[in-house]
Structure 1
């Protein structure tokens, strides 16, 4: 599904180096599918050792139910490569994460799953965190994927996104879907390749058939 605009309500979590084990702790990775990951999102920040909600944590505060954008500190999503961190954020309801920098694998996982990583300058990230802290309740944000801008009531910031990732997110494509857009060119290359070197086609299958005679 195509989308170029995200209108949302943002919560600020200024923690630097928020890693994937903090985003989705390992004890919530025991299932064989993606179900139920929202329960574990930021669990040790949201709950104490007895499982009681921490009143001071932003997502537990009145008015922040249903926020769908996170403004994070630098190097968000560093640490292990677990894709569950992205899945958990999406199941919780997040559509985008704004930060000055991201862990490389987390960033790729986010794009591939349709979670928008909004990478703004360090100055803009700090300003948005300050705006969110000063604002009563969640901070309204308007994110334009075509213009690559994020707008709050206080400011307009620009963010960076490669053209390939921009088109994937606008068109709702993962890496496989993006690759399949080149299906005709892939088929043409394969046909030309086998025509020029027919002795290489299906070598493994022919060798297997020969060995099992």
Structure 2
């Protein structure tokens, strides 16, 4: 998993509440188990019309936000079904951080497991960040995980909380498999001893 330490990039404003996982990645794109390629269908029904033409009014179709690395959204982001494809699509598009007043629990945890930093802040602070994001590509926001700070394009700083274990995993680029592999020596030793003491297993 890609490490998350500090990013500085364009933030896209999505002032919508209750954005569910079907809006993030519609169910017809869940047939794949590949994590790549889903960015094309991120927010598919909002990004494209029935003829697969881009809707110019949607934020991620606008030139200023096509390479956004941060998404500033409304309350209860990621609600709905617990599809892991949702963070896969967000990450594949290039977004590394989502900021919102609140998140659905399963989506929130899935983000960390896929190299995305979800940050929950009071609504009044998110409103400030939303305004900053609306400035476009010239307004770049910095997310510093080590310091647990968000720095706006105007230099205003917001601190955020993050679970220490989840922070460690992001900083080190460790997903569940990576965490397991850190103990591979102990696992191999256990398996070797078990094969001797219980050869019938």
Name the TM-score class by shorter chain.
0.7 to 0.9
Q: Secondary structure at the match of 1:160?
A: coil
Q: Secondary structure at the match of 2:63?
A: coil
Contact 2:10 2:69 in 1 (8 A): yes
State the 1:81 CA deviation: 0.8
Q: 1:187 to 1:39 in 2, by over 3 A?
A: closer
Q: Which residue in the other structure is 1:4 paired with?
A: 5
Point out 4+ residue stretches in structure 1 off by more than 4 angstroms.
179-188
Q: Which residue in the other structure is 1:152 paired with?
A: 152
In the alignment, the residues of structure 2 paired with residue 109 and residue 34 of structure 1 have an alpha-carbon distance, to the nearest angstrom, of 13
Q: Secondary structure at the match of 2:64?
A: coil
In the alignment, the residues of structure 2 paired with residue 121 and residue 146 of structure 1 have an alpha-carbon distance, to the nearest angstrom, of 20
Gaps of 5+ in 2: none
Gaps of 5+ in 1: 195-200, 209-213
Q: How does 1:54-133 map to 2 (within 5 A)?
A: 54-133=55-134
TM-score, normalisation: structure 1: 0.81
Q: Does 1:173 align with 2:170?
A: no
How big is each residue's C-alpha offset from its partner over 1:184-212, in whole Å with a ceiling of 9 and x where there is no partner? 78899x79xx9xxxxxx75xx74x7xxxx
How big is each residue's C-alpha offset from its partner over 1:69-91, in whole Å with a ceiling of 9 and x where there is no partner? 11111111111111111111111
Q: Which residue in the other structure is 1:198 paired with?
A: none
State the 1:160 CA deviation: 1.4
Count of residues in correspondence between the two structures: 196
Structure of larger gyration radius? 1
Higher RCO by CA contacts (8 Å cutoff, separation 6 or greater): 2
Aligned-residue CA RMSD (Å): 2.5
TM-score, normalisation: structure 2: 0.85
State the 1:96 CA deviation: 1.1
Contact 1:121 1:159 in 2 (8 A): no
How big is each residue's C-alpha offset from its partner over 1:12-42, in whole Å with a ceiling of 9 and x where there is no partner? 0011111110000011112343342112110
State the 1:118 CA deviation: 1.9
In the alignment, the residues of structure 2 paired with residue 69 and residue 131 of structure 1 have an alpha-carbon distance, to the nearest angstrom, of 12
